[in-house]
Amino acid sequence: MNPNYRENSGLGSGVWSSMCNSFNKLHDLEVIPLSAVQKKIGNGQETRFWLDCWGTSSTLAVKYPRLYALEMDKQCFVNQRVDGGSWNWRREIRGGRESEQFDNLIVELGHVSLTDSQDRWIWSFGDMTDFTVKGVRKVIDDFILPSWARKTIWFKFLPRKVIICAWRVLLKRLPMRVNLVSKGIDIPSSLCPICNDHE
């Protein structure tokens, strides 16, 4: 399996592909960052050193762009670079920013130790250290719904059709005149057909 879940979207119809698509959509909507789904390093054989999020809020390629530009094997894995692994630069590291980034990278790698276990995906977002559907739903609700609606929109004693109608109103998905005009549908007027004064 490709170690970068961003690249697994649309590669099938299984559970993993569906999860990848969902995470990608939530990231594109700026609901959750890419770093919410990270690799926990075991032996480092399935996690790409520069291109996967593992233990940091961004990839090392983003964090150390000068070094990434010098890297010959941009698809290398963690076990190839940690614990005294060899580096594959296209030229020698020069002073200034390159040297500073390399020193910072070496310090950061000093806290990484490989084990005999396999690399695995983990969920880490805000206060949540374990993935739960309820936790993700709360994140989405906090992002999308107004604060007054979150506790009432899925009130279980209301009829389902009332809940769905309220949900569609909040998302502006009902075919009202104002919503139709905003979607570019040509109608005679967006004003109220009764009073003809307000939208």
pLDDT in tens, 48-105: 899 888 877 678 998 999 999 999 999 999 988 887 667 888 888 888 889 999 999 9
User: pLDDT higher for 76 or 169?
Assistant: 76
Residues 6+ apart with CB under 8 A from 147: none
- With a pLDDT cut of 70, the percent of the chain lying above it is 85
- Report yes or no on 15 lying in a domain: yes
**First and final C-alpha spacing in the chain:** 53
Residues 118 and 151 in one domain: no
Q: What's the mean pLDDT in 18-38?
A: 78
pLDDT digits (tens, 9 = 90+) for 34-46: 777 778 888 988 8
Residues 157 and 99 in one domain: no
Q: Which domain holds residue 69?
A: 5-122
Per the structure, how many domains does the chain have? 2
DSSP state of 156: T
Report whether 54 contacts 78 (CB < 8 A).
yes
User: pLDDT higher for 147 or 104?
Assistant: 104
pLDDT given for residue 9 in this prediction: 46
145 is written with which tokens?
């719904």
Q: How many CA atoms lie within 13 A of 108 on its CB side?
A: 16
Residues 86 and 155 in one domain: no
Q: What is the CA radius of gyration of the chain?
A: 24
Residues 92 and 32 in one domain: yes
pLDDT of 21 above 60: yes
Which range, 114-118, 144-148, 160-164, has the best average confidence (pLDDT)? Answer: 114-118
pLDDT of 152 above 60: no
> Band of the pLDDT at 12, cuts 50, 70, 90?
low
Residues 164 and 107 in one domain: no
User: pLDDT higher for 134 or 152?
Assistant: 134
Please give the mean pLDDT across all residues of the chain.
Answer: 79
pLDDT given for residue 3 in this prediction: 41
Q: Cα 17 from chain centroid?
A: 14
Residues 43 and 87 in one domain: yes
Residues 163 and 105 in one domain: no
- Report yes or no on 173 lying in a domain: yes
Residues 115 and 151 in one domain: no
